[in-house]
Structure 1
């Protein structure tokens, strides 16, 4: 009798109708308006950015690539450790990929390392070490440690024995008091990583892609929407609707944007990437980004890319699997999308 379920459903529908009415009123400027609202939702308060001041922390020669770890500045005094994977071979400028990890033990989880920094041996986990897969396909790959994970957790969350936990809840709650979201802070840091990436002499700055898994998919999507330097994007185990994913299944607080439903459902936001190349990958058995929500989002994106005259630039792979990376189609697609 007093359960809020029905009222919450009515609230969702009321905002859906509000968005439909608004789009009728500003149809000619819909994309620009939506992008502006997204930028406002992700805004962070900073007087000025810190200088990058890159510092080389480590450099390891491996069989088929070089792995560097660099430290750069972003803003508010934050310093970010970033893995840079460099293919071996000739010295021509290469396409590059910003690889954004999901929930787990951080950037080491996708570059071929264990949580303690030792070389990974044996089977890979659900992340599939996609940064390693990408460098082996000829990309320069840059992998930042996302705020709240790995070495960038709060001290309280880095106690001995705690490996895969995060500081998302605490950081997000604190940023909320400042009128900001943790997603916004992470997106702006990702753009600072792009600022560093384009300074590398090995990189062709006109051929930059983004590959994100799960929470990294969120960052990849929003970073690419706001930063036109990203020419092609792969979103793995993320694309869905708000209604079916983060409103239908318990998720980490870092997935939620202030006021998002006032101006867009998730497929509409992702559709802002059109006509730039976009690849959607998702497991049919993913319990936290359910396949029916993926299909609804893809249906919208197909229409959006059709209207942009860019049907051929949208790729989709729904694979047999759960919440995991399967790059069997995404990797070659990205190679093709960023070829010279």
Structure 2
């Protein structure tokens, strides 16, 4: 029996596909601003962002809960993203210090409980132990650093998941497959929809006098790292980007390794590799956080992307604004370097 030559097929595609927006071209010929504008427009089209939010709709914010926690207040809110779609999120505000506070937005990864994990609202002691070992209480970390925090559910998870998938999985699954299928049929993508939602949350933050929207950080792990990277690449309102356990190369991670379909952007490699996308963030501060034993985003690809980004930031005389922090474990969040990096660059 003969099997399909998968490796040869992939190699052939890679050889035949030139990247239209290879970052090295504008660095060498001085066309960076035009490259950036054209690449962003093309990327928005591939993500389907031009088909999202086309019907004007108000934010329609509504608060459903306010809880006093240890040193901070946690409010639960909903805002409208597009007709018929609300984004549920927690707003955490420090109990000390003076506002307006810098804002940290914390999109979560592929955990069934979504935002609840990031605000340390655990389902059980077992859930607490597992997530604390992975340092996934990211929103709590941020508010205790003195920042306002928006911790949303991303599409496909928890309150932004579909009822059918939730019931079938006994509350342990997600709606990524079904939502991505529907999105693709209409020329959209889940990544694009999630990026759009982050923009709506920033719009809401701008209505809050307690929040300084001139200083916005975005950080999340795994799927949250995906949202962070793409949102920061397309939205200059994000001042500092800290993607965790995602940054690699498409050819070393998304293509050869089994991933959730929500990672797919049709034709992305015709435009650029992951480091080309990440280059759109420059010269804004970018900290890549990654475990050396991450099995689904191999560290070799992470180092390759970081090497390219160092070239970009060096060309912009901004080398100190781009870092790679390598954690000693696997696919998880690593907070050790995150908050010192954020503190330093928000001061600047």
Q: Normalising by the residue count of structure 2, what TM-score does the alignment of the two structures yield?
A: 0.91
Gap change, CA 1:121 and 1:10, over 3 Å in 2? closer
Asked if 2 retains the 8 angstrom alpha-carbon contact of 1:50 and 1:77, the reply is no
In structure 2, distance between residues paired with 1:61 and 1:18: 51
- The alpha-carbon deviation at position 22 of structure 1 amounts to 11
In structure 1, distance between residues paired with 2:30 and 2:283: 18
* Pairs within 5 Å for 1:76-87: 76-87=83-94
- Structure 1 runs of 4+ aligned residues shifted over 4 Å read 17-27, 120-123
Q: Which of 235, 241, 245 is equivalent to 1:233? A: 241
1:252 counterpart = 2:257: no
The answer for the alignment partner of 2:41 in structure 1 is 36
SS at match of 1:85: strand
1:222-262 per-residue CA deviation (whole Å, 9 max, x = no partner) reads 11121111111101101110001101211011111121111
SS at match of 2:347: coil
Gap change, CA 1:26 and 1:154, over 3 Å in 2? farther
1:279-337 per-residue CA deviation (whole Å, 9 max, x = no partner) reads 01000000001010011011001001111111011122011010000110111111221
Asked if 1 retains the 8 angstrom alpha-carbon contact of 2:22 and 2:272, the reply is no
* Pairs within 5 Å for 1:127-276: 128-159=136-167, 162-276=170-284
Asked if 2 retains the 8 angstrom alpha-carbon contact of 1:115 and 1:163, the reply is no
In structure 2, distance between residues paired with 1:211 and 1:76: 27
In structure 1, distance between residues paired with 2:134 and 2:171: 16
Asked if 1 retains the 8 angstrom alpha-carbon contact of 2:139 and 2:149, the reply is yes
Q: Tell me, which stretches of 5 or more residues in structure 2 are unaligned?
A: none
CA RMSD across the alignment: 2.3
Q: Which of 107, 124, 130 is equivalent to 1:100? A: 107
Asked if 1 retains the 8 angstrom alpha-carbon contact of 2:19 and 2:269, the reply is no
Moved more, 330-339 or 18-27: 18-27
Asked if 2 retains the 8 angstrom alpha-carbon contact of 1:224 and 1:230, the reply is yes
Gap change, CA 1:219 and 1:242, over 3 Å in 2? same
- The alpha-carbon deviation at position 158 of structure 1 amounts to 1.5
Asked if 2 retains the 8 angstrom alpha-carbon contact of 1:127 and 1:213, the reply is no
SS at match of 1:159: helix
Q: Tell me, which stretches of 5 or more residues in structure 1 are unaligned?
A: none
1:99-146 per-residue CA deviation (whole Å, 9 max, x = no partner) reads 110000201011111248x9x755615352111111100110101111
Asked if 2 retains the 8 angstrom alpha-carbon contact of 1:109 and 1:127, the reply is no
Gap change, CA 1:17 and 1:196, over 3 Å in 2? closer
Gap change, CA 1:17 and 1:177, over 3 Å in 2? closer
Gap change, CA 1:268 and 1:129, over 3 Å in 2? same
In structure 2, distance between residues paired with 1:90 and 1:296: 41
